A = this chain, B = another copy of it.
Amino acid sequence: MSLRHALLTSLMEKPCTGAELARRFEKSIGHFWQASHQQIYRELAALEADGLIEVRGLATARGSQRHFAVLAGGRNELERWCLLSADPHPVREALLVRLRAAAVLGTVDLASEVRRHLGLHQDSLRRYQAIQGRDFAEGSPLTPAGELQLAVLRAGIEFERAWLAWCQQTLCEGLSEKK
């Protein structure tokens, strides 16, 4: 049920329309939680039905912009959910299934695929580091909220670094079957 709470969080940061939310999910929130616009509209409808958010301004008809804002109930719900304890999501990565499959097949070489992933993780890492350099320059004082945002960014960086290191080491250790 995190999409609901990711939406509430984003709307608390700044009330906006569904399309704007979708854009934000692509850019910032999407670094740790993704959602398509269809998912977003569906969940916005549910949130409205549950009285956790409301439409601000003119809700004329289909196709016209609808601005949403969080109600008191929504804030309470977000706080309640935040205080629950929840275990980390386990790894679920198809590439690892494919490695294991390659091991049992013996006829598939995944070296180029690992090399491709290495490049993708490198790109992500650089993107995150660019944001860090831009928004969280060295030595500048941080508000408590800023510290939390930086922590989220650091998670992305650690994560990408870990995969990057893994790809490199895996390639070094003669991944190819055709030696």
What residues of chain A have their CB less than 8 Å away from a CB belonging to chain B?
Answer: 2, 5-6, 8-9, 12-13, 29-34, 75, 78-79, 81-83, 85-108, 110, 113, 116-117, 120-121, 144-152, 154-156, 158-159, 161-163, 165-166, 169-170, 173-175, 177
Asked if residues B145 and A106 are in contact (CB atoms below 8 Å), the reply is yes
Q: A88-B163, A154-B170 are in contact. List 15 more A-B contacts (CB 8 A).
A: A8-B101, A9-B104, A12-B105, A32-B92, A33-B93, A33-B96, A34-B90, A79-B107, A82-B101, A88-B117, A88-B120, A89-B92, A99-B151, A144-B174, A158-B165
Q: How far is the CA of A89 from the CA of B90 in the complex (A)?
A: 12
Knowing A100-B29, A106-B144, say if A154 contacts B174 (CB, 8 Å).
no
- Shortest A87–chain B CB gap in Å is 7
- Residues on B with C-beta less than 8 A from A155 are 91, 93, 96, 166
Interchain residue pairs A-B with the least CB separation, the first 5: A162-B162, A103-B148, A32-B96, A103-B145, A9-B101
Copies of this chain = 2
| Contact of A5 with B97 in the complex, beta carbons under 8 Å | yes
Interfacial chain B residues near A152, Cβ < 8 Å: 96, 99-100
Cβ contact within 8 Å between B144 and A103: yes
- 15 CB contacts below 8 A, A to B, read A9-B97, A12-B101, A13-B104, A32-B93, A78-B101, A79-B105, A82-B110, A86-B95, A93-B155, A100-B152, A106-B145, A144-B177, A147-B174, A151-B170, A158-B166
Nearest CB in chain B to that of A162: its residue: B162
Q: Which residues of B have CB within 8 Å of A108?
A: 79, 82-83
